[in-house]
Amino acid sequence: MIKNNSRREFIKKSAGVSAAIVAGGILPGFSASSYRRIMGANQKLRASVMGVNSRGSALAQNFAFQENCDVIHICDVDTRAIEKCSARVQKVQDPKPQGFQDFRKSLESKDIDLMVIATPDHWHAPAALLAMQAGKHVYLEKPCSHNPAEGEILIKAAARYNKSIQMGNQRRSFPNVVQGITELKNGIIGRPYFGKGWYTNNRGPIGVGKDAAVPEWLDWDLWQGPAPRKDYKDNIVHYNWHWFWHWGTGEALNNGTHMVDIMRWGFGVDYPVKVSSNGGRFHYSDDWETPDTQVINIDFKEGVSMSWEGRSCNGKHIQGTSVGVIFYGEKGSMFIPGGNEYTVFDLKNNVVKEVKNEKKVDPRDASNPSSHLDSLHIRNLFNNIYSGESLVADIDSGHKSTLLVQLGNIAQRVGHSLEINPENGHIVGDRQAEKLWSREYEKGWEMKL
């Protein structure tokens, strides 16, 4: 393991990081033989997967299942997760993955073409930036960033380092959802002007954390990485970090990102003019900081509006499903649940068209809700790397959708609605809110292009 845990030290040590060549040039320090592994110069991509305790383990297996990919590195600050994930990957492919508790050791390898990132949210953008600086393509789980400033950095980094980066908005690759959005844009319900998305669950309390010794299997310092240091407590790792602003982004970005992305896609809009949020931590009294009940409203200059409702602790379905989107238009409505299907209604609520999918998707399965459909999203990234096929969820698109719910969280935290510049998505005339546009970093871990 690298003893100095700072990002700065890594950049100095990694081959090709500080002066990566764009536009297809050979990375410094790479021999001709090692370069043949990059960007499809051979026909099999070699992937490293970072963060494999839950969702990352499912992704590792899915990437290994693809015929033109081998997962050769498994990275996690939890040594137990490395062992479990490696065993699962071996059931899918022949090569045994090598395990790293420090993912930067994996990035130093000239054999890695692609980094798959499924870590806690505070690690998403910093890890993606390091991967691109090290000459790797990136598959980045949602949300693409912990705060808006990080998303803007990733857009610049993808261009500067000439790397493909696909965000995990997998529904952009679901064939029936693609068909539904196409029909929406072609006017099947007339002009759509309002969208509602939602997510519901029955999450329990997380209690009040107690100071405890760091488990021997966990590198707590590296788990925190770019986030300013806090003492270890017994109710943070592995999932409850979602509900702390220091590391997580709440249910809005954890699950709302997907539905907000579908709505933004369907409406064909980018940045809003106004964002508001209402809600709070209502169900339990514990350490949970982010809202367990939240309604985010987003207005656009194009004359459309969207609303997302999140209920973490009351799982009552809407429209018969725990997650979904409805578009409302001049001639009817379109319902897209969590899976690969959609239904069109007229203004009298009669079903006009119904497109189903035989394989069911469980949106409450945090690790692997739709593996057979996720493969299409993964292959889109591979095709982009090999042949330049357009990414269906590139980082520019991913940032815009992530930003919408980030703005909702900022409005929630400051306690009032936000006026937004529709040209770039930035907050207008609100110093209190603008302070949450970025974050403080642990010294040495600042994100720098």
pLDDT value of residue 22:
29
Q: Could you say which residues of the chain have pLDDT below 50?
A: 1-4, 14-41, 367
**What's the distance, Cα to Cα, between the start and end of the chain in Å?**
25
Confidence at residue 351, expressed as pLDDT on a 0 to 100 scale: 98
Are 126 and 163 found together in one domain? yes
Q: Are residues 332 and 287 in the same domain?
A: yes
**In this predicted structure, what is the pLDDT of residue 370?**
64
For residue 38, what pLDDT is reported?
Answer: 38
Nearest Cα to Cα of residue 298 among 446, 196, 429, 438: 196
| Same domain? 265 vs 161 | no
Domain check: are 34 and 152 in the same one? yes
Domain count, the chain: 2
pLDDT (0 to 100) of residue 357? 85
pLDDT at 204: 98
CA 444, CA 103: separation in Å to the nearest integer? Answer: 17
Q: Are residues 154 and 177 in the same domain?
A: no
DSSP three-state, residue 192: strand
Assess if residue 402 is contained within a domain. yes
**225 assigned to some structural domain:** no
Whole-structure pTM value: 0.90
C-beta neighbour count of 389 within 10 angstroms: 13
Strand order in the sheet with 114-117: 98-100, 69-75, 45-50, 114-117, 137-140, 165-167
Contact 361, 369 (CB under 8 A): yes
Is 113 part of a structural domain of the chain?
yes
Q: What is the pLDDT of residue 36?
A: 33
Looking at the structure, tell me whether residues 100 and 178 fall in a common domain. Answer: no
- Distance CA(313)–CA(310), nearest Å, equals 9
For residue 38, the enclosing domain spans 7-170
pLDDT tens-digit map of 150-192:
999 999 999 999 999 999 999 999 999 999 999 999 999 999 9
Residue 312's pLDDT is what? 98
Bridge partners, residue 114, by sequence? 47, 137
Tell whether 217 is covered by a domain: no
Write down the pLDDT at residue 224. 98
Domain shared by 101 and 123, yes or no: yes
Whether residue 186 is found in the same domain as residue 55: no
Q: Which CATH number do you get for residue 18?
A: 3.40.50.720
Tell whether 165 and 247 lie within a shared domain.
Answer: no
Same domain membership, residue 310 and residue 403: yes
CATH number of the domain within which 417 lies: 3.30.360.10
Same domain, 150 and 201: no
**Is the domain of 177 the same as that of 315?**
yes
